[in-house]
Amino acid sequence: MNTTKHSRFTPSLPSVLFLMLMIFFGMMPKTLLSPLLLRISNDLGISFDRASLFFLSSSAGFISGLLISGFLTRFFTHKWIIVTAIFSTSLAAVFLSMVHSELSFHLLMFAGSLALGLYPGSGITTVTSVTPEVHHGKAIAIHEIGPNLTFILAPIISAAFAPIIGWRGILLMVGTGGVAATFLLAILGRFGNEHGEAPNFKNLAELAKNRSFWVISVLFTVGVAASMGVFSVLPTYMMVEQGLPEQFVNNLVGISRITGIAMLLIAGAFTDRFGFRPVITVILLVTGSATILIGLGHGKLLIAGVFLQPLFVGAFFPVTINELTKVTVPERRSLAVALAFPISNLVGGGATPPLMAAAGSRGMFTEAFVALGIITMASVALLPLMSRKSESGN
């Protein structure tokens, strides 16, 4: 791989865009759960806070997939792991559209998320392998447009189509699209033909001694909590607590994510230029402040928080993932991702949404948002623990 300053990014762009499409279809079923949760809970005859436990099943499955992905990369190439992950996730969404029981919904959320958990290690490793190192920040930022697009489109699709085809029709439509996309990747994809390293005592011990790896893992937990924790309950909070209509809320939440796409690219370029620490400091402080504003604000202040929070929290992931790829050698990047993601998704993506929902059901939405905002801002104190040599800057 050419890593000089003059290495061109353009030849890598089609492969990065293809991978962006894959993670978009992989993430969309899980992201749709938030704007559709009230409809799903009513259809299944369960309460909202009980339905929010679907997020925990999803996170448990995702973590399971992450933990076994490192072993699979020893036997299968990254390309075929990506194909299997997104195909299986999309197929699970199709089956989800047909279930009528709470238990079946839990099982399919677990299964689909387990398949999705196979993706990050192979996906991120492939993005960095097809891109010159000097452009890793931009490449990962473009890749992360995929999951961020789901945060934009999921509420808008829900607002537009749920009254017409219901939540079942939406999941069927998205799942079918994902299945079709994986066939395109299987036929046209010309990348990801490498294998990864399976976990063993030596490489696990090296990561365990790496302070930067542990700091990034904790920051991931905070970032996922600030992202999924807020997004999962925001529509319900605005409808139930603030008394706003469903279609207005879903459109507002979706539109508020649009500006985050530009921030993704800006953050990636800034990280390549200025390094990890100054960029992530700004992101964490502004994200925490905006999360507090959502909890305390009303009217225009609330709307300001709803727009400001995703603008910065979306930029968190490409910046942090880019730094994660620098704390170990290329052969172990998929392993580093597979180990860093589990706790962050169990706590941030699994436990935080039901905790926020439980707080809301007790009339404590404000306290929950404020507490999450304070934790996000306080995580800046971890940055001095990182090794200076792992931080990037050009």
- Tens of pLDDT, residues 278-314: 889 999 999 999 999 998 888 888 889 988 898 888 7
Q: CA–CA distance from 382 to each of 137, 217, 228, 373 (Å)?
A: 22, 11, 21, 16
Count of CB atoms situated within 10 Å of the CB of 146: 21
The answer as to CATH 3.90.1150.10 being correct for domain 10-194+201-390 is no
Name the token pair of 207: 């990561």
Closest CA to 196 of 291, 356, 75: 75
Amino acid identity, residue 193? N
Of the chain, the end-to-end C-alpha distance in Å amounts to 18
Question: Domain residue spans in the chain?
Answer: 10-194+201-390
- Tens of pLDDT, residues 317-341: 878 887 887 777 766 666 777 777 7
Is 6's pLDDT higher than 60? no
**DSSP calls for 83-128:** HHHHHHHHHHHHHHTT--SHHHHHHHHHHHHHHHHTHHHHHHHHHH
> Which band of pLDDT confidence, cut at 50, 70 and 90, is reported for residue 22?
very high
> Which band of pLDDT confidence, cut at 50, 70 and 90, is reported for residue 197?
low
Burial 246-259 (b: 16+ CB within 10 A, else e): beebbbbbbebbbe
Is 153's pLDDT higher than 60? yes
> Which band of pLDDT confidence, cut at 50, 70 and 90, is reported for residue 3?
very low
> Which band of pLDDT confidence, cut at 50, 70 and 90, is reported for residue 378?
very high
Amino acid identity, residue 274? F
pLDDT for residue 66: 83
What residue spans of the chain are helical by DSSP H?
13-44, 48-51, 54-72, 78-96, 102-117, 119-129, 136-143, 145-188, 201-208, 211-224, 230-236, 246-256, 259-274, 276-296, 300-324, 333-344, 352-361, 365-378
Is 394's pLDDT higher than 50? no
pLDDT for residue 393: 42
Is 212's pLDDT higher than 60? yes
pTM over 0.75: no
Is 172's pLDDT higher than 70? yes
**Average confidence score pLDDT of the chain:** 83
pLDDT for residue 5: 45
Which has more confidence, 43 or 314? 43
pLDDT for residue 330: 66
Which has more confidence, 7 or 298? 298
Which has more confidence, 242 or 95? 95
pLDDT for residue 264: 74
- Tens of pLDDT, residues 379-390: 999 999 887 655
Please state, in angstroms and rounded to a whole number, the distance separating the CA atoms of residues 17 and 349: 25
- Tens of pLDDT, residues 250-269: 888 888 878 777 777 787 77
Is 67's pLDDT higher than 70? yes
Q: What is the CA radius of gyration of the chain?
A: 20
pLDDT for residue 2: 42
| Range name among 80-89, 145-154, 170-179 with the lowest pLDDT average | 145-154
Name the token pair of 384: 């001095």
Is 392's pLDDT higher than 60? no
Mean pLDDT confidence for 197-221: 76
> Which band of pLDDT confidence, cut at 50, 70 and 90, is reported for residue 99?
very high
pLDDT for residue 194: 66
pLDDT for residue 359: 84
The one-character DSSP state at 101 is: S
Percent with pLDDT over 90 in the chain:
25
Percent with pLDDT over 70 in the chain:
90
